[in-house]
Amino acid sequence: MKFIHIADVHFDMPLIALSGNRDLVKKRRTEQKKAFHDVIQFAKKENVDALFIAGDLFEQKFVEKSTIEYIISNFQLIPEVNIFITPGNHDPFIKNSPYAVYTWPDNVTIFKSEYGMISLEDADIYGVGFEDYEMKDETISQIKIEDSDKINILVTHGTLNGANHQYHDIKEKDLEKFDYVALGHIHEKKIDNSNIIYPGSLISCGFDEPGSHGFVYGEITKESCNIEFMELGYREFKKIYLDVSNLSNFNEALEKLNLEDDIYEVKLTGTRNFDIEELIESMKEQHKNVCKIKDNTKVQHHFDEIKNEENLKGVFTRKMLEQMKTMSDEEIEETYKIIDIIYQMMS
């Protein structure tokens, strides 16, 4: 039996990391849809038997009608593939959920909180889904395997061996009866030698989801399970640091930045020798994929000379240097900014 396992697509979620950048938000939403379509096309090309979607396919509170129609239209492209969905804490099967309101294709099964089972030729597929934004039941421990000679697969959304009981805490000991466990909820992939797998989010939705993203492609028999992580190759969220200490102007800084097409948060560090605001404005104009810029630079001051001045600036400098001896690195960075402001006021 061949299958695909995805989770945490989060269609129409507020992309907080891109807030204030409408163009990037629009592009990322388009990339989400393309990535989903890539999965559907792969399923069709490889003639997979099942597609497991382990929760948080969309955002219940924000999802648009056109997005649901897009999902359904993609499912209709693979009528021969059995699609199993377990709603998560972001897309629970509540009264006004699209799961309840829309007509879904015949090849789609949507599980609820009381576990269900669908029997295929070679495998029995068990599923447990959210019917509210929280789920504290220990339903999985109650599942009784009906045919141990068949491949038994569980699809669900939750936290493996977690302590956060409101988001479906799953005990590993309750999963031993399954040949494969398709999980969702954790956005970082967990793919190891076990049969308990998190594919991670389909594509990254923020700087807290670094690295490559994609889906799991597998082939399973009663005796073995071979899985492969399929990277989709869409743009990543990356945090980078730019030390401006040895740069004399903003053009040199822009050249050193050398950005590609990913989405960036840039943290400026070091001692600046030029107008840093000019660099920040230039970055915003020339690099539309930079959505956050943090200025942690400091002005190069000759403290050894200034502290010997017999004036208010000298007195202030001596006191600040004395206080900085007991400060942490973060406190020193903030103190440099305060010194810059005070020096400007004294000028």
Full set of structural domains in the chain with CATH: 2-231 (3.60.21.10), 237-346 (no CATH)
pLDDT at 347: 67
pLDDT at 97: 98
pLDDT at 164: 67
pLDDT at 57: 98
pLDDT at 150: 97
Give CA–CA dist 165/41, Å, rounded: 36
- Consecutive sets of 10 residues in the chain, 347 residues long: mean pLDDT of each? 98 92 93 98 98 98 98 98 98 97 98 95 96 89 95 96 80 95 96 94 94 96 96 95 91 90 93 87 91 85 81 89 87 80 79
pLDDT at 339: 83
pLDDT at 167: 85
Rounded to two decimals, what is the model's pTM?
0.86
